Amino acid sequence: MTSRLHADISTPSRRTVVKAAAAGAALAAPLLAAPVARAADGPAFLHGVASGDPLPDGVLLWTRVTPTAEAVPGSGKGPDTPVSWEIAEDPAFRTVVGRGTTTASAASDHTVKADVRGLRPASAYYFRFFTGDAYSPVGRTRTAPAADAREELRFGVVSCANWEAGWFSAYRHLAARADLDAVLHLGDYLYEYRTGEYPSAQYTVRPHQPAHEIVSLADYRTRHGAHKTDDDVRAMHAAHPLVAIWDDHEFANDAWSGGAENHSPDTEGAWAARRDAAKQAYFEWMPVRPSIAGTVYRRLRFGALADLHLLDLRSFRSQQASVGSGAVDDPGRTITGRAQLDWLKSGLAASNAQWKLVGTSVMISPVAFGSLPTHLLAPLAELLGLPKEGLAINVDQWDGYTHDRKELISHLRERGIKDTVFLTGDIHMAWANDVPVTAGTYPLSPSAATEFVVTSVTSDNLDDILHVAPGTLSTVAEGAVKAANRHVKWLDMDSHGYGVLDVTAERAQMDYYVISDRTDRNATSAWERSYRTRTGTQRAERADAPVK
């Protein structure tokens, strides 16, 4: 059957609209929660459905079909299988607005994507896949606002979901919301370690699949497939479009352009082969459009209110410097690569959106221990070969690449680019920061932007690493960090959870939510703190309550 939609089919190489959206969610809930039949003698959709990268007129749809019992992820087994999709304005599919067919094959691990166009902006849709008489669960998605619309926006924000460290309750709580335009995943969607390594075996809640460290294409496919059997993962993907970037653990710990801390060429082969395998599996299994040169840096527009600039801080970066090394200031070293930094600068300068949101997998705000006056810190740093903005405590962040950060901040200042908000994961803690032009003299010197950092979904933070009760040491540590870094307005070193970013013409506000216990499959969620930045201020301030 023909469709009025254009669909580019490939196998992978509110703010409250909201009474209507809530009503739709209520109707869809039984379908979204419906169990998927396991047909021993026929195809089944065992890994759910997903959507991602919403546009004003379209969205990317995803699923994986298991054509036969032996065609498990990473196996390379199973026949080519025709898979059809349809998208509708209602969860009962009475008003179907588009449909198409593609083929799932072992070459793409039996994953399929449909890049659907011709949809209405700022609208909810429902979609499903089928082959023969086997149907997938129903997913709900949403398109972005029209380019000139000033609709208020709301995003879930998550990072760092380690399967072995706990249950993904944060995803379940986001899936239950009917007011999100999308969920932004800032990296470490999965981890590459062998079972019992991180955390150690005595603290492992559930074992990885495969049990060994993932290195090959089959390994990465298997682990992606395992993650999409998790009920909370499937619920989040079925409820909201995902906008995702990768960080290091989608590859290996502390990955850089030529290798990784957790990669040994002598025993694990060439880094390029491992990197390419990880990328292939990622694009097969995630509802993400491959962007420039097969990376994830790309730009999405959400009406006149916000542009979202998404970064890839692994594919092009120089190797991390040694802690305490003056090499962090070397202008020849980069975290973005020249082409990506130029792309970001030109995009920020050209943007006519009210808010310039930047998805960065690692923290851009400087963090140092020790608070010396600037007139002493600068010459001492030069004498000792240390970074001039203080002693970097995490050279995997922008602190390890200060020249790129300085160039970007100078660009924001020189071009008069206001209302830039960095959205960050990676560090397993929640932060609200100003991004200072000169950290040593802040707050007497200006702020160029703000940064909201979300904590991990499950990955270890301070109390987990030390195996102490929350707050035992973090109160002192948080005070020390804030005393040495006056641009840090707030941080939480102990909690796990997620953020909800609410964007209006007047302000961008991050509401921080925490889960009760990452090891409890039925963990509850509670609001902890909110910070916002008002239009034109470039500074974060505390808000008294979450946005309703």
pLDDT in tens, 389-430: 655 568 999 999 999 999 999 999 999 999 999 999 999 999
Q: What is the SS3 assignment for 132? A: coil
Q: Is 310 strand, coil or helix?
A: strand
d(CA 122, CA 151): 9
Average pLDDT over residues 15-38: 37
Give the pLDDT of residue 8.
Answer: 37
Whether the pLDDT of residue 26 is over 50: the answer is no
Which pLDDT does position 41 carry in this prediction?
67
| pLDDT mean across residues, the chain | 89
What pLDDT, on a 0 to 100 scale, did the predictor assign at position 388?
62
**364-375 burial code (b ≥16 CB/10 A, e <16):** bbbbbeeeeebe
87 by DSSP, 3-state: which?
A: strand
pLDDT of residue 37: 45
What is the C-alpha to C-alpha distance for residues 427 and 232, in angstroms, rounded to an integer?
22
What pLDDT sits at residue 548? Answer: 87
Q: Tokens for 536?
A: 């034109």
87 burial level (CB within 10 Å; 0-12, 13-18, 19+): buried
Closest CA to 136 of 79, 78, 72, 86: 86
Q: Is residue 251 within 8 Å of 190, Cβ to Cβ?
A: no
Q: Tens of pLDDT along 122-169?
A: 999 999 999 999 999 999 999 999 999 999 999 999 999 999 999 999
**The predicted structure's pLDDT at residue 284:** 97
Question: Which pLDDT value is given to residue 10?
Answer: 37
Q: Spell out the domain ranges in the chain.
A: 7-142, 153-543
Phi, psi of 451 (to 5 degrees): -140, 130
pLDDT average, residue stretch 178-191: 98
Share of the chain above pLDDT 90, in %: 80
Euclidean distance between CA atoms 130 and 434, whole angstroms: 48
pLDDT digits (tens, 9 = 90+) for 39-62: 456 899 999 999 999 999 999 999
Residue pair 452/401 in contact (Cβ under 8 Å)? The answer is no
| pLDDT value for 471 | 77
80-130 residue pLDDT tens? 999 999 999 999 999 999 999 999 999 999 999 999 999 999 999 999 999
CATH 2.60.40.380 fits 7-142, yes or no: yes
- High-pLDDT (> 70) share of the chain, %: 88
Judge contact between 547 and 427, C-beta under 8 A: no
HSE on the CB side for 188, CA within 13 Å?
Answer: 29
CATH of domain 153-543: 3.60.21.70
Degrees (nearest 5) of the Cα angle 262, 267, 272?
A: 65
Rounded to 5°, angle at Cα 407 from 403 and 408: 120
